[in-house]
């Protein structure tokens, strides 16, 4: 099994440190553009369905060349190939990492494929075909007006983000609802507007043990029965790798997936059912094809012209050399309002680690915090800090050239604003009045799509998955487990028991005090 080398233990690492100290940290992008007439062309990168301008970033050809050396020294290419081939690169769970197989066309073999691949690919397509046929049935069933997805984390964020992003492609005769939070306000609010006979509940959970989803599923089943609903098989469908548990809950209409699909990478599997119902079989297949096209780019393009690689290297450069602690993501498309939330799980759950694959503790920082809101809204809220705050926070914009609405004038305005933000951040504006002074030289990346379609969204999401792989691989961490979420789950269970018993022994003073307070009924 191939294991990448931690980047902080390779020969190019100290070279990059010296380069940063002597040159990198002094880079002024305005001067860099004057000195390098081809800077825009050099730092432009096309990939399937996506164009990216990386030129308004704090790097030059020398820093990029050293970062590419760093990638080679860690064994990034071999690690990438091991992932595509189905090796068990998720070593702490001894699992393959094969979300790319979910979008691989049937009968395509890759060099180095592990022996199980052909069978896995056949299973993928059999489930995909069945899931898409079911989606088409639901689409043509006029009795179903509301689809409620109950799931959390990867079983919510992906379908929620995509159904919202692709609203122009959505079947108009159905409403889509997403319930994730164990806070009953959310489910209660959704149920209030529904009727049992016209609702389809999708219970989405890879493990089918997640406390929030199980609670919401039970409450939905109870509500359905209380409303006089009879046909659970016709109104509840489960998406899971744990089909035994779905049956135990009384749900017999099921679509499965596999332990080699991580929750935050599962939108391409049966977890995509709400999206398939929303945009139909053809749309979903286009989404998969967009993702596959990006996979092929990542798998085959030379590192220096490989968009996920270039983005991932920039992430390492910013996090470990500049010390930037977060990245702001701003899609300039109102329908992409769940995009930042989706990327938060993708990157922070994948790369929020401080121990390398070999168990050693890293000496360098890992995942930045990811946050953001669609533009232009963010401009009137937190962009002030991007322009004049004491911290430098890289911005990543997604802009879409062609609007899918007919309103005149809007699209030019939204695109001009996206471009103006990147320009203002870099160019700045000198003033003797400190309050009105814009320091400039602040980094941004602009990712451009021709239109927001199933195919372009698929390519964009696969691009983001792979850039997270690149930085995680350089850091030598396992981007595919999430042990950090476990402790809170165990403690919540313990507190629930203590709630009933009133037992406070062994708790810290704050938790004991708060529990005691919360156990007394609110007035």
Residues with a catalytic annotation lie at: 349, 380, 489
Site for ligand F6P in 417-476 (CB under 6 A): none
Write the CA distances from 296 to 14, 128, 214, 385, integer angstroms: 32, 20, 38, 38
Please answer whether residues 495 and 507 qualify as being in contact, where contact means their C-beta atoms are separated by less than 8 angstroms.
no
Please answer whether residues 479 and 468 qualify as being in contact, where contact means their C-beta atoms are separated by less than 8 angstroms.
yes
If the CB atoms of residues 155 and 478 are measured against ligand F6P, the closer one turns out to be 155
Q: Give the nearest distance from C-beta 189 to ligand F6P in angstroms.
A: 21
Q: Give the nearest distance from C-beta 338 to ligand F6P in angstroms.
A: 15
Among 79, 80, 264, 292, binds ligand F6P (CB under 6 A): 264
Site for ligand F6P in 467-506 (CB under 6 A): 482, 485
Q: Which residues pair with 402 in a beta bridge?
A: 451
CA atoms of 69 and 71, how far apart (whole Å): 5
160's tokens = 């929620």
Please answer whether residues 163 and 278 qualify as being in contact, where contact means their C-beta atoms are separated by less than 8 angstroms.
yes
Q: Give the nearest distance from C-beta 324 to ligand F6P in angstroms.
A: 25
Number of DSSP helices (H) and strands (E) in the chain, helices first: 20, 11
If the CB atoms of residues 350 and 421 are measured against ligand F6P, the closer one turns out to be 350
The three-state secondary structure class of 256 is strand
Q: Give the nearest distance from C-beta 335 to ligand F6P in angstroms.
A: 23
If the CB atoms of residues 26 and 247 are measured against ligand F6P, the closer one turns out to be 247
Q: Give the nearest distance from C-beta 352 to ligand F6P in angstroms.
A: 12
If the CB atoms of residues 18 and 209 are measured against ligand F6P, the closer one turns out to be 209
Piece in contact with ligand F6P (CB under 6 A), picked from 202-210, 215-223, 309-317, 387-395: 202-210
CA atoms of 79 and 92, how far apart (whole Å): 16
Dihedral sign (CA 187, 190, 192, 196): negative
Piece in contact with ligand F6P (CB under 6 A), picked from 27-35, 147-155, 168-176, 247-255: 147-155
If the CB atoms of residues 264 and 333 are measured against ligand F6P, the closer one turns out to be 264
If the CB atoms of residues 76 and 83 are measured against ligand F6P, the closer one turns out to be 83
Piece in contact with ligand F6P (CB under 6 A), picked from 36-44, 148-156, 329-337, 367-375: 148-156
CA atoms of 283 and 273, how far apart (whole Å): 12
- From residue 338 to residue 377, the character string flagging contacts with ligand F6P as x (rule: CB under 6 A) and all else as - is -----------x----------------------------
* b/e code 305-342 from CB counts within 10 Å (16+ = b): ebbbbbbbbbbbbbbbbbebebbbbbbbbebbbbbbbb
- Looking from the CA of 441 toward its CB, the CA atoms found within 13 Å total 15
If the CB atoms of residues 15 and 485 are measured against ligand F6P, the closer one turns out to be 485
Number of chain positions touching ligand F6P (CB under 6 A): 14
Among 206, 297, 353, 466, binds ligand F6P (CB under 6 A): 206
If the CB atoms of residues 261 and 279 are measured against ligand F6P, the closer one turns out to be 261
Piece in contact with ligand F6P (CB under 6 A), picked from 83-91, 206-214, 405-413, 423-431: 206-214
Write the CA distances from 359 to 91, 173, 472, 482, integer angstroms: 11, 52, 15, 15
What number of other Cβ atoms are within 10 A of residue 154's Cβ? 25
What letter would DSSP give residue 522? Answer: P
Piece in contact with ligand F6P (CB under 6 A), picked from 68-76, 159-167, 205-213, 302-310: 205-213
Q: Give the nearest distance from C-beta 239 to ligand F6P in angstroms.
A: 9
The three-state secondary structure class of 106 is coil
270's tokens = 């049966």
CA atoms of 364 and 446, how far apart (whole Å): 27
Site for ligand F6P in 212-251 (CB under 6 A): 213
Among 12, 229, 263, 272, binds ligand F6P (CB under 6 A): 263
- From residue 149 to residue 168, the character string flagging contacts with ligand F6P as x (rule: CB under 6 A) and all else as - is ---xxxx-------------
Dihedral sign (CA 408, 409, 411, 414): negative
Piece in contact with ligand F6P (CB under 6 A), picked from 13-21, 44-52, 168-176, 200-208: 200-208
Among 9, 44, 145, 207, binds ligand F6P (CB under 6 A): 207
Among 147, 234, 246, which residue's Cα sits nearest to residue 205?
246
Q: At what angle do helices 454-475 and 76-85 cross, to 10 degrees?
A: 130
What letter would DSSP give residue 319? Answer: I
What letter would DSSP give residue 221? Answer: H
Residue matched to tokens 């937190």 = 382
If the CB atoms of residues 48 and 263 are measured against ligand F6P, the closer one turns out to be 263
- The reply to whether 139 sits near ligand F6P by the rule CB under 6 A is no
Q: Give the nearest distance from C-beta 213 to ligand F6P in angstroms.
A: 5
Contact positions vs ligand F6P (CB under 6 A): 152-155, 205-207, 210, 213, 263-264, 349, 482, 485
């Amino acid at each position: 099994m191939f294991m990448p080398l931690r980047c902080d233990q390779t020969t190019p690492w100290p070279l990059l440190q010296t380069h940063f100290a002597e040159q990198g940290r002094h880079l002024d992008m305005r001067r860099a553009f004057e000195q390098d007439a081809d800077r825009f062309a050099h730092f432009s990168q096309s990939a399937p369905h996506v164009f990216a301008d990386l030129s308004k970033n704090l790097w030059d050809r020398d820093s990029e060349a050293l970062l590419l050396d760093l990638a080679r020294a860690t064994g990034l290419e071999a690690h990438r190939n091991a992932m595509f081939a189905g090796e068990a690169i998720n070593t702490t769970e001894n699992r393959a990492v094969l979300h790319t197989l979910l979008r691989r066309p049937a009968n395509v073999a890759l060099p180095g494929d592990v022996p199980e691949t052909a069978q896995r690919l056949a299973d993928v397509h059999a489930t995909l075909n069945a899931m898409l046929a079911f989606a088409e049935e639901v689409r043509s069933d006029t009795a179903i007006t509301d689809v409620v997805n109950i799931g959390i984390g990867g079983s919510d964020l992906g379908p929620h983000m995509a159904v919202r992003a692709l609203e122009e492609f959505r079947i108009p005769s159905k409403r889509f609802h997403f319930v994730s939070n164990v806070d009953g306000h959310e489910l209660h609010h959704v149920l209030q507007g529904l009727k049992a006979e016209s609702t389809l509940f999708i219970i989405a959970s890879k493990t089918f043990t997640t406390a929030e989803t199980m609670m919401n599923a039970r409450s939905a089943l109870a509500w359905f029965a209380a409303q006089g609903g009879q046909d659970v098989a016709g109104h509840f469908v489960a998406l899971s790798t744990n089909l035994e548990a779905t049956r135990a809950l009384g749900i017999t209409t099921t679509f499965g997936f596999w332990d080699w699909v991580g929750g935050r990478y599962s939108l391409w599997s049966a977890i995509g059912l709400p999206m398939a119902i929303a945009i139909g079989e053809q749309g979903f297949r286009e989404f998969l094809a967009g993702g596959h096209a990006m996979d092929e780019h990542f798998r085959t393009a030379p590192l220096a012209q490989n968009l996920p690689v270039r983005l991932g290297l920039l992430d390492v450069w910013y996090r470990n050399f500049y010390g930037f602690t977060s990245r702001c993501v701003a899609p300039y498309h109102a329908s992409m309002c769940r995009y930042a939330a989706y990327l938060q799980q993708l990157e922070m759950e994948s790369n929020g680690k401080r121990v390398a694959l070999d168990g050693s503790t890293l000496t360098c920082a890992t995942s930045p915090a990811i946050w953001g809101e669609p533009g232009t809204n963010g401009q009137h809220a937190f962009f002030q800090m991007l322009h004049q705050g004491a911290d430098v926070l890289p911005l990543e914009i997604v802009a879409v050239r062609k609007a899918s609405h007919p309103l005149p004038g809007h699209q030019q305005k939204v695109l001009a604003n996206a471009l103006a933000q990147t320009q203002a951040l870099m160019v700045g504006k000198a003033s003797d009045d400190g309050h009105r002074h814009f320091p400039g030289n602040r980094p941004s990346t602009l990712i451009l799509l021709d239109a927001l379609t199933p195919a372009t969204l698929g390519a964009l999401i696969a691009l983001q998955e792979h850039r997270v792989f690149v930085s995680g691989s350089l850091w030598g961490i396992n981007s595919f487990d999430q042990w950090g979420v476990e402790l809170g789950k165990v403690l919540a269970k313990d507190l629930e028991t203590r709630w009933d018993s009133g037992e406070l022994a062994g708790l810290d003073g704050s938790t004991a005090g708060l529990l005691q307070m919360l156990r007394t009924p609110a007035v």
